[in-house]
Structure 1
């Protein structure tokens, strides 16, 4: 099962996966305006919640529709609507709600809603532990390195730093990065080079 964020929600990627017999779930956001609009227009109000989950600050619901026609995307068999309602940290009595859509090539007899929800949560765990840290803590999206192999080298260095900090038991990467940046001997000691 391959799960991917919106960057990989492209026709050529799906065709590539299908040719190799891979199964997939893809998140659909603004990078696919036409597909996103098609998914948002489905009759979600008539669909009961298939699963729900609760965290300390979040309530998640999943709705699933079988697609027979009407979605202009190759191999799409089911559409998913994931709604996340989060309690705000700064104002605990207020909530924010986010609706995300996804598609999968798996038919209902191959993937029940609980399994789909588990795969999506597993993907978000990766997003939160790696991609979010790269995007927010290391501000990867605003990097000025754009030519040659520079972007790949910088991404590898960021991932190595995140991996070294996590291996050392540091769970808050931003705080760990600040701590090690204050003294040039700390990163060397972390890597066992001193």
Structure 2
């Protein structure tokens, strides 16, 4: 369990989510004290997110820090916590497609600029696959493999 936390308010928020056989708690504390530093133009808030719970029968706690250009009047602690959670969902879904569907982690290419070139090509692929009529990216890939003319038309279209 984390240390005693402040009461909910503009600088502190907490959530609890249950699902997938686990309970996860999240708390966010924000501060504007970092905004006085002249090397951080545009910085409006800093924050700390704590996540803790039980995953696969084991207790865990994670702490991450972040910064944002959103001022407190546009994003209090509760809103920041929502934005952090949404960012995680987007990252996880993109990572899943790139890693599992497109095999990024299994790729043996590790030297020079080739990994960055391949990452850029995977990003283009994800964008193009979003325009294919299919339930998911894997089905879109199979559809294009079976319908070569659709793949060529997709590459030639001005999306």
In structure 2, distance between residues paired with 1:56 and 1:101: 21
In the alignment, is residue 168 of structure 1 matched against residue 132 of structure 2? yes
1:43-192, aligned counterparts within 5 Å?
44-47=2-5, 50-52=13-15, 61-65=25-29, 78-83=47-52, 99-105=61-67, 110=72, 112-192=76-156
Q: TM-score, normalised by structure 2?
A: 0.60
C-alpha separation between the residues in 2 aligned to 1:151 and 1:124? 23
Q: Larger C-alpha radius of gyration, 1 or 2? A: 2
TM-score by length of 1: 0.51
Indicate the RMSD between aligned Cα atoms, in angstroms: 3.9
Whole-angstrom distance in 2 between the partners of 1:133 and 1:188: 22
CA contact (8 A) 2:47 2:67 kept: yes
Contact 2:28–2:81 (Cα < 8 Å) also in 1: no
Unpaired runs of at least 5, structure 2: 32-39
Query: Contact 1:47–1:64 (CA<8 Å) still a contact in 2?
Result: no
> Shift of the alpha carbon at 1:134?
0.7
